[in-house]
């Protein structure tokens, strides 16, 4: 006679029932929600650690800036020309040095055989590059306190940019 306790333990394990649903609806919801939550946390981390200053590439070039900001009263004179970096390391528009709005910055970076100039606005967006033709609004004023600074003329007048930088064709810039 066989022992009743040993007959139950020697039974072979049953294979899983493939035809049955293996997850409950809650299990499926968890399988979908967990990767979405992980992705959301990852994007949140990237968003919070993002800094537009990281986008400013190259060596900073000295430019003249004023205290003028968008929304301040502005003069309406038009000015334009090709954005260049001269041999002295000064940013010029149509061959002239200008005073940019508050927060503007310029950098130069070696790209291949040439240096590429980038002009950034206060939000660190690129608003101009080497050899692009730009149109500016603003007014002409006395050099005043800027005289003696790097790239500034020692006397006379200088153009004060009091608008956003707009791109133009060479024909548009030459009319202004």
What tokens does 114 get? 């040439």
* pLDDT score at 68: 92
CA distance 11 to 130: 82
Q: Which of 147, 113, 154, 150 is nearest to 130 (CA)?
A: 113
Residues 20-32: what's their mean pLDDT?
A: 79
Phi, psi of 147 (to 5 degrees): -60, 135
Q: Mean pLDDT highest for which of 46-50, 55-59, 73-77?
A: 73-77
On the question of pLDDT at 129 being above 70, the answer is yes
Q: Beta strand pairing status for 98-100 and 126-129?
A: unpaired
């Amino acid at each position: 006679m066989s022992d009743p306790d040993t007959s139950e333990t020697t039974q072979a394990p049953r294979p899983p029932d493939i035809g049955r649903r293996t997850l409950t609806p809650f299990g499926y919801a968890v399988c979908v929600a967990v990767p979405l939550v992980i992705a959301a946390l990852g994007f949140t981390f990237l968003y919070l650690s993002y800094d537009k200053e990281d986008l400013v590439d190259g060596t900073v070039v000295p430019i003249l800036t004023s205290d003028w900001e968008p929304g301040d009263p502005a003069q309406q004179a038009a000015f334009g020309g090709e954005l260049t970096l001269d041999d002295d390391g000064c940013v010029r528009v149509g061959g002239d040095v200008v005073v940019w709005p508050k927060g503007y910055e310029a950098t130069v970076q070696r790209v291949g055989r040439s240096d590429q100039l980038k002009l950034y606005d206060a939000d660190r967006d690129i608003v101009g590059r080497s050899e692009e033709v730009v149109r500016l609004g603003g007014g002409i004023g006395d050099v005043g306190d800027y005289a003696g600074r790097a790239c500034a003329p020692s006397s006379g007048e200088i153009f004060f940019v009091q608008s956003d930088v707009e791109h133009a064709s060479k024909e548009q810039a030459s009319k202004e």
